[in-house]
Amino acid sequence: MRIPRMNLPRDLRGNRKIFQIWTTRACDKCCFGCTQASNLAGRPGFMTPAQFEKACLSLQDYPGVIAMFGGNPCMHPQFEELCEIMRNTVPKLQRGIWTNNLLGKGKACRKTFHPSACNINVHLDKDAAEEIRKTWPAMRGKIKGEDVDSRHPPPFVAIQDVVHDEQDMWAQIATCDINKKWSAMIGVFRGELRGWFCEVAGAQSILHQDNPEYPDTGVPVVYGWWKDGMEAFQQQILKHCPECGIPLRGKGQLAVGGDLEQVSRTHAAIYRPKRPRTVELVTRLEQLGGTVKDVCAYTGNARRFDEPCE
């Protein structure tokens, strides 16, 4: 079977380039269907400052956004040190953060990140939104999710578990919204820095790393590794894309106001929510309850389904 040509770390995602540096899976929220599984139990993990510096340096010629990523990076116990490293290694216009709550780190964020390179979704948390307005005024008009929930299709319902025609499966994978519009990622796998062509591929690896039989698909992070071609990332595509739910574009749940988690056989063993929740094992496409048009339009998807934001 010929696999599709997926976007690689060096490629455009939508109309720009975005690269995530995973600093932790820890998060103060527990959103249903989180792509980084911050809704699940287990060790959240933390990237060390030395690893973070190496990750930043490996991207020195990267022409797009380089973002601190989680979980919620503001929960990292050495967050201010990571910010200082980023200020010393990444141009200001490229420095971003993906977060939902500043948790008292507004001053460091204001000094470090450029508002145009950031993604802030407070997930209905009015207090978090107010803190952002007070401590990082430049972000006032860029806050998402204050009045509307997000809708997250289930990323851990593996397409290979519910679409049994291989040609159809790969055709859907070829149109993956995250691959086309979102980001590649650097993270930590079994204590070592690794790079993936996709943030969900990295999340899968990190979640399964305690299984000694699980393969290390990550690319060693050295200067310029992200410039490599298809041959460097083919193993990742063959492993992670069939084990991902994003190409299915399932209706999913409201991130805050959802009522159950969905997973399929491939990831069932690691899918333990950190708060008491019903977990449904998905074996049929019908269980997804319909589809969304664009996985990345998470707040818009919530509006279109006209469900309450509770």
Q: What is the pLDDT of residues 227-265, one digit of tens each?
A: 999 999 999 999 999 999 999 999 999 999 999 999 999
What does the CA dihedral 294, 289, 245, 280 come to, rounded to 10 degrees? 150
Q: State which amino acid sits at residue 301.
A: N
**pLDDT surpassing 60 at residue 308:** no
Average pLDDT on 17-41 reads: 97
Q: Which residue has the higher pLDDT, 148 or 13?
A: 148
Dihedral angle of Cα 159, 72, 180, 3, to the nearest 10 degrees: -40
Cα-based distances in Å from 89 to 55, 128, 254: 10, 29, 37
Segment 185-241, tens digit of pLDDT: 999 999 999 999 999 999 999 999 999 999 999 999 999 999 999 999 999 999 999
Q: How far apart are CA 249 and CA 201, in angstroms?
A: 16
- How far does Cα 189 stand from its chain's mean position? 15
Average pLDDT over residues 103-116: 98
Which of residues 7 and 15 earns the better pLDDT score? Answer: 7
| Residues contacting residue 52 through CB under 8 Å, at least 6 positions apart | 21, 23, 82, 85, 86
Mean pLDDT of 100-106: 98
Cα dist from 152 to 29, 60, 224, 310, whole Å: 14, 32, 33, 15
Would you state the structure tokens that stand for residue 106, as one six-digit string?
A: 């507004």
* pTM across the whole model: 0.95
Annotated domain spans of the chain: 1-310
What is the average pLDDT across 112-128?
97
At 279, phi and psi to the nearest 5? -115, 125
Predicted pLDDT of residue 305: 54
Quote the CA–CA distance of 309 and 287 in Å, as a whole number: 22
CA angle at 192 for the pair 187 and 197, rounded to the nearest 5°: 40
Token pair 């019903």 is found at 278
Start-to-end CA distance of the chain, whole Å, equals 45
Tell me the residue ranges of DSSP E strands in the chain. 18-22, 65-69, 95-99, 119-121, 143-144, 151-152, 184-189, 192-196, 219-220, 253-254, 261-263, 279-281
pLDDT digits 0-9 by tens, 135-161: 999 999 999 999 999 999 999 999 999
Helices (H), the chain: 49-58, 79-89, 106-112, 126-135, 159-162, 166-173, 177-181, 199-208, 230-240, 298-304
| Alpha-carbon 65 to chain mean position | 15
pLDDT, position 310: 29
CATH fold of 1-310 reads: TIM Barrel (3.20.20)
Give the DSSP letter string of 228-239.
--HHHHHHHHHH
